[in-house]
């Protein structure tokens, strides 16, 4: 493998995420935090925190309005992503097979199972760090967790939003109660997962601590990328395509703005987790 990292590349960065993907992720963060905050004020309405928060949000009714508005943003993110996949298949891939089963697929394949096994060995000091490619197994898991979550939380949320419409289709009334339970429990699961496991995998693991900015800036220092994703790096070097992904870093002011947004999201997320734990242990009804 040619060693293309010379002194001039020291400040060069690798473009990992497109502008659209970054904007969609920011919209997802804003909508998810809004949904979790307003949803939890309803779920844990008997806690003093919920009363304070709902007062700040303009009352429980207005929290319900914000909840529905944020849901529309989340649905938009989902549909724009699906349209982008169709565009990618037309412009960047020759077939659905190549998009869904090619080397950069988001679907689980044999390498993911090998990486999972080798990662466990590596955690125990019994082997080397696996040669991760473009997407790791935990990123694929997070990606499909969103698909699953949107289907379950989204469909039950729409049922709670438009109960007359759904019952007019013949759905029995008791299913609305079931939808409330599923919506509420899946919301708890999603919030718990995102603000602990997802935050740990992306920001808190030792290589990235305290925060990985790549989802906001879209770019990562080339040296870091080479260590983090050796398989993809080697493939791009060998095919001669690496140059196409090299970009300048953003100016410090942009990085500062990104950090303010990122830290705000992390603080909101951790605070919601502390609130949930408090409500479940000390105030549960």
Using the minimum distance from each CB to ligand HEM, give the nearer residue, 24 or 36. Answer: 36
Q: How far is the CB of 254 from ligand HEM (least distance, A)?
A: 29
List, in sequence order, the alpha helices (H) in the chain.
19-43, 48-56, 60-91, 96-101, 110-123, 137-161, 163-168, 174-192, 199, 214-217, 222-228, 230-239, 252-282
- Residue 53 CB, shortest distance to ligand HEM, in Å, is 13
Are 81 and 24 contacting, i.e. CB atoms less than 8 angstroms apart?
yes
Instruction: Write down the least CB distance from residue 152 to ligand HEM, Å.
Output: 10
Complex with ligand HEM: residue 65 or 123, whichever CB lies closer? 65
The least distance separating ligand HEM from the CB of residue 34, rounded to whole angstroms, comes to 9
Q: How far is the CB of 33 from ligand HEM (least distance, A)?
A: 9
Given the complex with ligand HEM, which of 36 and 222 has the nearer CB atom? 36
Is the Cβ of residue 133 or residue 149 nearer to ligand HEM in the bound state?
A: 149
Residue 135 DSSP label: S
Query: Looking at the chain, how many residues does it have?
Result: 285
Phi-psi region of 284 (alpha: psi -120 to 50; beta: other; left: phi over 0): beta
Quick check: 218 and 17 in contact, CB under 8 A?
Answer: yes
Residue 4 DSSP one-character state: -
CB of 229 closer than 8 Å to CB of 134: yes
Binding residues for ligand HEM, rule: CB under 6 A, are 32, 35-36, 39-40, 42-43, 64, 67, 71, 74, 153-154, 157-158, 160-161, 180, 183-184, 187, 190-191
- Residue number, 60 or 245, with CB nearest to ligand HEM: 60
């Amino acid at each position: 493998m040619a060693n293309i990292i010379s002194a001039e590349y020291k400040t060069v960065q690798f473009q990992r995420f497109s502008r659209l993907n970054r904007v969609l992720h920011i919209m997802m963060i804003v909508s998810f935090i809004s949904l979790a905050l307003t949803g939890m004020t309803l779920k844990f309405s008997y806690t003093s925190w919920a009363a304070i928060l709902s007062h700040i949000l303009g009352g429980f009714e207005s929290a319900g309005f914000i909840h529905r508005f944020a849901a529309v943003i989340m649905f938009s993110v989902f549909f724009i992503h699906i349209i982008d996949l169709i565009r990618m298949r037309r412009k960047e891939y020759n077939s659905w097979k190549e998009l869904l089963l090619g080397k950069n697929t988001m679907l689980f394949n044999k390498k993911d199972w090998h990486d999972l096994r080798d990662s466990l060995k590596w955690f125990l000091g019994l082997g080397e760090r696996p040669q991760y490619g473009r997407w790791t197994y935990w990123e694929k898991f997070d990606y499909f967790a969103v698909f699953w979550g949107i289907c379950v939380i989204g469909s039950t949320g729409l049922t709670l939003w438009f109960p007359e419409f759904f019952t007019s289709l013949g759905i029995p009334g008791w299913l609305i109660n079931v939808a409330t339970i599923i919506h509420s429990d899946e919301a708890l699961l999603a919030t718990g997962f995102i603000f602990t496991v997802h935050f740990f995998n992306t920001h808190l693991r030792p290589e990235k601590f305290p925060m990985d900015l790549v989802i906001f800036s879209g770019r990562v220092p080339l040296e870091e990328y080479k260590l983090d994703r050796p398989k993809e790096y080697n493939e791009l070097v060998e095919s001669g395509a690496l140059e196409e992904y090299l970009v300048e870093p953003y100016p410090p002011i942009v990085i500062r703005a990104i950090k303010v947004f990122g830290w705000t999201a992390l603080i909101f997320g951790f605070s919601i987790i502390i609130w949930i734990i408090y409500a479940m242990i000390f105030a549960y009804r």
